[in-house]
Amino acid sequence: MPQLSLTFSLAEQSFSWTRSIGLLNLSMGMLEHVARRPEVGKVTLLSNDTFAGALNLPANVETLIHNEANGRGLSRMFWDQWKVYSAAKDAGNEWLFMPKGFVSFLRKCPVKLTAYVPDVVFDHYERNYPGKFSKLEVLYLKQSIKAALRQSKVIFTCSEFTNSELTRVAQKWGITPPPLVAIGTGFTRKLKLDVPKDDRIVVLASPFAHKRTDLALKYLERWCKETSFQGRVDWVGGFEKGVSLPKLPNWQLHQRVPEKEFREMVARARALVYFTEYEGFGMPPVEAIIAGTCSVYSDIPCTFEVMQGMGAPFKNESYESFAQALETAMKTSPEQLDAWTNKLLERHNWDVGAEKIVKALLAAK
């Protein structure tokens, strides 16, 4: 018997300009699975035209288009601070679910509020990279997270690490947080493609400082020279201003790769390299292994929690650790990758996550 009705907002996200494809895919997967839970009755989706045909939703989901939320600037701020709450009130559902975690700090939510907070990376930047983001943007994000902590009946996160980080910043701000529930994210076996392996390494790059692309360039250049690696090194993403790709044989930068081409690129590679110093979850190492390619990734608290030693972790501060991890990845057998895939899919799937969400919402009633 349905016991829950909820409004779910995707209107403020978009494939065309999102900073995090991972969070966008997570939001979509979360909605598709929660809406199918037997405890959930009416669902109202606040969406925009960029999601046309992209969602697989059951019949109990009503979609309302709010293109004014899709973008940045004053219209987006007005949506965040006022209109999304009005839309939730008009929908008549018991709950409003905000999957990006940013809620209005100018208005009290007229229905029960829950949010998904993927990380508190803004706090990491304040402490480690002051000046990298505009002070106004950081202030806006902080006020939105503070409002989420004050107004939400329950907050969902992607990891126990993010729970601890939210608890830390809440204490710093003098806020008693609501219940924090780590639900992780979900992956599927369909990511694996039956394609031959090339002598190729795929490296994820980013212009954001915490992704440590500077370290990736330094370590990969040294490793290629020391080992005389003759294969391809495909860099996917972008660099900080003033940084360029070294002129090494078979190194190529792909700033934007369509999803289908990227999946095939990863499946053909012998290793996927993922540098970072701060994440709430860190999806690429999981996705690579499920795709049949060993991931070489920074060993930080969230990746330790998520991966449990599977794949090839390394310490950012040690080139020797990285070089050993990459050598290990290149030799990893398909049988080992299959075994890791089974464990990862058992740990990280939306059936488990959706059940946790529903139980927490019912408990918060």
pLDDT in tens, the chain (365 residues): 678 999 999 999 876 666 667 788 889 999 999 999 999 999 999 999 988 888 999 999 999 999 988 877 788 889 999 999 999 999 999 999 999 888 999 999 999 999 999 999 999 999 999 888 778 888 888 999 999 999 999 999 999 999 999 999 999 999 999 999 999 999 887 666 888 999 999 999 999 999 999 999 999 999 999 999 999 999 999 998 888 899 898 999 998 888 889 999 999 999 999 999 999 999 999 999 999 999 999 999 999 999 999 999 999 999 999 999 999 999 999 999 999 999 999 999 999 999 999 999 999 97
Beta-carbon contacts of 356 under 8 Å, excluding residues fewer than 6 positions away, are 156, 181, 183
* pLDDT score at 58: 93
Q: Alpha helix (H) ranges present in the chain?
A: 21-34, 74-78, 84-91, 121-128, 135-151, 160-173, 213-227, 259-268, 284-290, 301-307, 319-331, 334-347, 350-364
Residues 121 and 176 in one domain: yes
Whole-number pLDDT of residue 191? 61
312 three-class SS: strand
Q: Which distant-in-sequence residues (6+ apart) come within 8 Å of 188 by Cβ?
A: 290, 345, 349
pLDDT of residue 15: 67
Both 64 and 211 in a single domain? no
Please say whether the dihedral angle defined by the alpha carbons of residues 145, 213, 71 and 15, taken in this order, is positive or negative: negative
- Whether the Cβ atoms of residue 166 and residue 198 lie closer than 8 Å to each other: no
Residue 71 sits in the same domain as residue 179: yes
Residues 102 and 245 in one domain: no
Residues 22 and 126 in one domain: yes
Rg of the chain taking only CA atoms, in angstroms: 21
The pLDDT assigned to 52 comes to: 81
Domain check: are 51 and 129 in the same one?
A: yes
In a shared domain, residues 182 and 206: no
Per the structure, how many domains does the chain have?
2
* Domain extent at residue 67: 4-186+349-364
Q: Are residues 223 and 353 in the same domain?
A: no
Strand-pairing partners, residue 312, are: 296
Q: Kindly report the CATH number assigned to the domain that includes residue 357.
A: 3.40.50.2000
60 and 144 in a single domain? The answer is yes
174 and 256 assigned to the same domain: no
Q: Is the overall model pTM greater than 0.85, yes or no?
A: yes
- Domain co-membership, 11 together with 80: yes
**Do residues 212 and 146 share a domain?**
no
